[in-house]
Amino acid sequence: MTSLDIGRYGIWTALLDLHPTNKGLEAVAELDSMGWGALWRPESTGRDPLITAGLWLGACDRMAVATGIAQTYARHPLTMNAGVRTLDEAFPGRFLLGLGVSHAPMVEGVRGLDYSRPLSDMSAYLDAMDASPFTGQGPDGRPPRVLAALGPKMLALSAEKADGAHPYFSTPDHTALAREIIGKDKFLAPEQMVFLQTDPDRARRVARANMARYLALPNYTNNLKRSGFTDEDISSVSDKLVDAIVLWGDVDSIVARVNEHVDAGADHVCIQALVEDPNDLPIEDYRKLAEALF
């Protein structure tokens, strides 16, 4: 895609926002020492993703930081471009911008903005970013970016006007479809939830609790239906659906299933370790996974 190399495996987490910044930076440094290629963070109603990215990059020596995703409706294209170029200059080759249109409840319900044309809005936003003046010191080329993309049209746009795609809440079968749509030369980085737990009842209970917020969002449920899941699977949160979205079991079984994304065409897999208590940080789970993966 670009000169950016973020390795085969990364971590996706929103949990650090629930802890004091200093504790989070200690965790970032520890994750860096384990060998993870990148640390991904979302944007919702927590901390600012670009400011946080700068803090995280300063706390580690090697690991890349990526947004998964920064919301287009949250900032003007010129402002986004300036923030990205600031990080790219300060930490060359270690910041990846993941951009997304988010969801109607966030854009219309929280921000009070129009969400009627997310695809065309994203296309126009990327053009506006590229046309934005930037007079600060920095590299000449455009910093790398990927799009949050699930459906065929947004995936096609991620190949046309970005460096690839970052699907979320999807399966290896979707990864294979995404690779087919974006082509062999674009970067593909799907997210994958995991839970290190071998008891099926406990694993599925925690998985369902973490899936609930996403199953209320049409972008995700529509993609699940395109992937072959039924309305009944979604409304009942069937075992079939749970086991497809959340990989649970011992370390070896989870690693094998994570690599199904790689076999399907992923360049990088963003692993999100689930917890029973959102105030916990699954540092030891990430350590066990790192030892098995690297």
Measure the CA–CA gap between 19 and 100, rounded to whole angstroms: 25
The answer to whether 56 touches 26, Cβ cutoff 8 Å, is no
- Whether the predicted pLDDT of 248 surpasses 80: yes
Query: What are the pLDDT digits (tens) for 119-171?
Result: 999 999 999 999 999 999 988 899 999 999 999 999 999 999 999 999 999 99
pLDDT confidence of residue 139 = 80
**Domain residue ranges in the chain:** 9-193+249-293
Mean pLDDT of 41-46: 97
Q: What are phi and psi of 269, to 5 degrees?
A: -115, 125
Measure the CA–CA gap between 119 and 183, rounded to whole angstroms: 19
The answer to whether 9 touches 271, Cβ cutoff 8 Å, is yes
Mean pLDDT of 172-194: 98
Query: What are the pLDDT digits (tens) for 73-127?
Result: 999 999 999 999 999 999 999 999 999 999 999 999 999 999 999 999 999 999 9
Own/partner contacts of 55-61, CB < 8 Å, gap of 24 or more, are: 55/21, 55/25, 56/24, 56/25, 56/28, 57/87, 57/90, 57/91, 57/94, 57/95, 59/25, 59/26, 59/28, 59/29, 59/32, 60/28, 60/29, 60/31, 60/32, 61/32
pLDDT tier at 216, thresholds 50, 70, 90: very high
Q: Give the burial class of 133: count Cβ atoms within 10 A of its Cβ; 0-12 exposed, 13-18 middle, 19 or more buried.
A: exposed
Packed helices 21-34 and 49-59: angle between N→C axes, nearest 10 degrees: 60
pLDDT tier at 4, thresholds 50, 70, 90: low
pLDDT confidence of residue 2 = 47
pLDDT confidence of residue 148 = 98
pLDDT confidence of residue 1 = 37
51: preceding bond cis by omega (within 30 degrees): no
- Whether the predicted pLDDT of 3 surpasses 80: no
Measure the CA–CA gap between 51 and 46, rounded to whole angstroms: 12
What percent of the chain has a predicted confidence (pLDDT) above 90? Answer: 97
Measure the CA–CA gap between 179 and 167, rounded to whole angstroms: 11
- Whether the predicted pLDDT of 55 surpasses 70: yes
Nearest Cα neighbor of 69 from 162, 138, 178 is 162
Average pLDDT, the chain: 97
Alpha carbon distances (Å) from 292 to 136, 155, 262, 284, 286: 43, 31, 15, 13, 10
- Whether the predicted pLDDT of 31 surpasses 90: yes
pLDDT confidence of residue 5 = 87
The answer to whether 134 touches 128, Cβ cutoff 8 Å, is no
- Name the CATH superfamily, with its identifier, for domain 9-193+249-293: Luciferase-like domain (3.20.20.30)
Q: Which residue has the higher pLDDT, 148 or 4?
A: 148
How does DSSP assign 184-212, residue by residue?
TTSEE--EEEEEE---HHHHHHHHHHHHT
